[in-house]
Structure 1
Amino acid sequence: MEKTYELLLGPGTDGIPNPPYTASHLIRHADCQYWTVAEGCIFEQCFDGRYAYLYYYEYWLDRSTDIPVQINKGDLHLLYTLLSDGEIHVVAQSLQTNLHTQSGEGAYYYLSQGTYNLRIPPGHHILIGFILDAGLFRPPANKSFTFLDSLLKAKKDQAPHALQSKRFRAGELTTRYLKLLFKKINPYTLDNEHILLRHLIFLINLSRFKFLDHAERQNDEHTLVYQARQLLELLIIQQGAQAQLKDIAQVLHIGVVQLRRLHRHQYGYSLQQYRNELLLDLIRSSLPENDKLIATAIQVGFSGLSEMGRFIRTHTGLSSQQFKAQIKNKKINLP
């Protein structure tokens, strides 16, 4: 996707080869640039993907500053404030629009064409964003993202006013996956766009679990458990054996013990059992794709072949090789 904005840093702003600060996170193969401004230093990283444009800005500022940003085309943005020493405002100069965010939050934005001031307080700040292809939310997938309806319509109509979704918490799990994405980007491999899209879809799906009001979840235990199972399915697909119940509890703002108790009450068996069933299904579908067992073990999130072997034997009574042979024989015997 194209970059549809630019920072209007103006005269007196210099690109520097030897910056005074070290970036907190680095994106592989990203285009990087440091600038000095009167108030401090700015670090930019950008990566142009087919389905999303990834950008990263880190600021070290001695005092509050306004950074003008020119939006050349109305677009949909997913923005995370990974770190901030105060509230950041996005102010449209001519439209009287004031959008805001703070540390540990995320939100979706429709930024209309025009000039904005990024109003940043003194301190250390990290903003990470994606310009999204709105086609990701075409029917019927858009039914799961009704909270984006007004922004998607604004994007389609190229509306003149900027919009912001409800803000959501961007916690440890979100940070972990952003950092994982930064490490995996590699435009020299054929599956790079697949990797970028896969991680982006995970982050988008993760965000929708955070829009259900906390009080609503507490008052509707069935909804909470249903969402926990959905989120667990998503995590297993994304990270396999690395998926943990504590991550689900953290996203849903509930204790792990309480979540386990509610699941057992509704389904008659433990959430851990459901996790293991999902993981075994993932192994079952992945084994025929790889010639070597170790390739499957790594693909589904195990540290090695022995760890996957112990898991398979515990839940099937078979060795990894026997389990793979059983899957192969069943496929051969299908009518």
Structure 2
Amino acid sequence: MKKALYIHLETVFGEAHQPEDSTLQPHIPMSNGESRYYRNASGQAYLQEFDGLLAYINILDVTASNRMVIPLRILQADLHLFYLIGKDGAIQIKDMKQDVTYTISSSRGRYIYLPSGDYALHLPGGSYTIFNFYFRGSIFRNGNERPFRFLHPLIDAYRSNSPLSSCSVDFRVGSITIARLQHFVLNLRAGDLDNDKFIYEELNGLIKLSKKKIFNEYERQLGSDQEAQDIYDEMKNRISRHGQEFRIAALCDFFGKSQQYIGRIYRKKYKQSLQAGRKQLLIEHIKQQILLDDSISHVAYSCGFNSIHHFSNFFKQETGLSPSEYLGGFRKEY
């Protein structure tokens, strides 16, 4: 991925020193990344970077005796995820053009959409580990962003190439998140064809984990009609793509919840089980396909059935009509 975030540590610390000279040990060591070390009378900074196809990763460790302002330059718009690991207060990222400031508190994370421009990283005196990666917003496509409501405004801004920065709510960074970040960066492999797949899987897992944390902190008390709607929409979307081959277990993987939990939320809103909802949506999908395609055999196979006989029996059992009878009745009406 093209490097887009430049952290101008040299304007604060002067020229970089050899990483081997560092007395500042990275809180989260990175494998196979590029490292730069800076120091002066005011403090030290250790920057680790890794360039992946889908994401660019930065880990910045800083110790500062006094307040410090580090210039940042963004060359292209991306979605950024920042984690602040440590106990020494909060940091701020200031958009110089909008005169807007985004705060990231200790042991918290936040997504920020940053268009091209000049920014400033404000650090109070103390020790900080700032884990940042920015990634292509195009990983959200074909409606797969629906469960991540907290990201919708940022994704919309990215897609429209908005000139205005924006941020999500923040969320807690605990031991599970830190363990995942450590696993992520310790297993990076430059020049390995499987590395980009690994980065995508880890990025996907971190986004899902942040969704879970945001839900637990901000939304759990709702109960939640919107969550049930998300489950319905995702089930409908998958049935339209996979037909009867769709399995409920895929929802559990997608939402990171147990089938018991998803079923309870779904039943509360729709007054039916997940299996009943699946069957109802599948029948609706089949009916639509029959009306769009006169070939019953083509509809059967496109809807994931391995035989026309199985397809016809299923449809008649659920509707009381064979597929041909359903199509014939529709033609008589119109």
Taking only aligned residues, the RMSD between alpha carbons, in angstroms, comes to 3.1
Matched, 1:10 2:11: yes
Residue 181 to residue 216, structure 1, CA distance change in 2 (3 Å): closer
**C-alpha displacement of 1:216:** 4.2
**Superimposed CA distance per residue, residues 45-101 of structure 1 (whole angstroms, 9 cap, x where no aligned partner):** 111111111111010111111101111112110111122401101112231111010
Q: Which stretches of structure 1, 4 residues or longer, exceed 6 Å deviation after superposition?
A: 221-227, 229-232
Matched, 1:52 2:43: no
* Secondary structure, aligned partner of 2:177: helix
Paired residue for 1:204, among 202, 207, 230? 207
Count of residues in correspondence between the two structures:
242
> Is residue 58–residue 127 contact of structure 1 (8 Å, CA) maintained in 2?
yes
**C-alpha displacement of 1:7:** 2.1
Deviates more, 1:75-84 or 1:50-59: 75-84
* Secondary structure, aligned partner of 2:148: helix
CA distance in 1, matches of 2:114, 2:16: 27
CA distance in 1, matches of 2:192, 2:93: 36
* Residue number in structure 2 paired with 1:75: 78
**Amino acid corresponding to residue 55 of structure 2 in structure 1:** A
User: Given the two structures, how large is their TM-score scaled by the length of structure 1?
Assistant: 0.65
Residue 38 to residue 4, structure 1, CA distance change in 2 (3 Å): farther
> Is residue 97–residue 161 contact of structure 1 (8 Å, CA) maintained in 2?
no
**C-alpha displacement of 1:223:** 9.3
**Amino acid corresponding to residue 191 of structure 1 in structure 2:** D
* Residue number in structure 2 paired with 1:164: 167
Residue 215 to residue 133, structure 1, CA distance change in 2 (3 Å): closer
Matched, 1:130 2:119: no
User: Given the two structures, how large is their TM-score scaled by the length of structure 2?
Assistant: 0.65
> Is residue 71–residue 111 contact of structure 1 (8 Å, CA) maintained in 2?
yes
> Unmatched 5+ residue regions in structure 1?
237-247, 249-258, 268-335
Matched, 1:40 2:43: yes
Structure possessing the higher radius of gyration over alpha carbons: 2
CA distance in 1, matches of 2:252, 2:26: 33
CA distance in 1, matches of 2:89, 2:39: 21
**C-alpha displacement of 1:201:** 0.7
* Secondary structure, aligned partner of 2:11: coil
CA distance in 1, matches of 2:227, 2:159: 33
Residue 214 to residue 147, structure 1, CA distance change in 2 (3 Å): closer
Deviates more, 1:127-136 or 1:14-23: 14-23
CA distance in 2, matches of 1:182, 1:11: 27
* Residue number in structure 1 paired with 2:26: 23
Residues 95-106 of structure 1 mapped to structure 2, 5 A cutoff: 95-106=98-109
**Amino acid corresponding to residue 105 of structure 1 in structure 2:** R
**C-alpha displacement of 1:189:** 3.0
* Residue number in structure 2 paired with 1:185: 188
Paired residue for 2:67, among 64, 68, 72? 64
**C-alpha displacement of 1:29:** 0.2
